[in-house]
Amino acid sequence: MGDYRNPIPTVDVIIELAGGIVLIERRNPPHGWALPGGFVDEGERLEAAAVREALEETGLTVVLQQLLHVYSDPARDPRQHTVSTVYIAQATGVPRGGDDALQAAVFPVDALPAPLCFDHGAIIADYVRFKQHGVRPALG
């Protein structure tokens, strides 16, 4: 039998709040700013993982609105091959960093902090195009 390695499922959440989106500053490497999200637990639905991760990292209870896209580039996470399902959500309240987030804050999409981790800059660009033109990212 061979040693089989498979991508790890993750979720990320674009939380719309107060005219911007919520980003977290990561406590663990890679350091920088990121969309709230994380690993899906065994036996957990993707949607439940997205709501859980958003709450753990931002203190916000989110309502998932729609699926933006699934991102699977093997190089998207420098730690390992992950496949992320990205949701758009809404919330009310004031974000605060929790779990593995040093802090959480709302940023206008045209004034994002740097550096952004993983492929989150590209994901946010896809989100902006979707909100402006109603077109989801292309497959492939």
Task: Please report, for the chain, the start and end positions of each structural domain, with discontinuous segments joined by +.
Answer: 8-133
36 within 8 A of 123, measured Cβ to Cβ: no
39 within 8 A of 100, measured Cβ to Cβ: no
Question: Where does residue 56 rank: exposed (0-12), middle (13-18), buried (19+ CB within 10 A)?
Answer: middle
**CATH node for 8-133:** 3.90.79.10
The set of residues, in sequence order, having a beta carbon less than 8 Å from that of 103 and lying 6+ positions away, is: 24, 25, 96, 97
Q: What residue ranges of the chain have pLDDT lower than 50?
A: none
Query: Using one digit for the tens of pLDDT, what is the confidence trace for 50-70?
Result: 999 999 999 999 999 999 999
Nearest of 75, 97, 121, 86 to residue 26 by alpha carbon: 97
* pLDDT of the residue at 139: 84
* pLDDT of the residue at 1: 59
Answering whether pTM is above 0.75, one says: yes
Q: At 116, give phi and psi (nearest 5°).
A: -90, 135
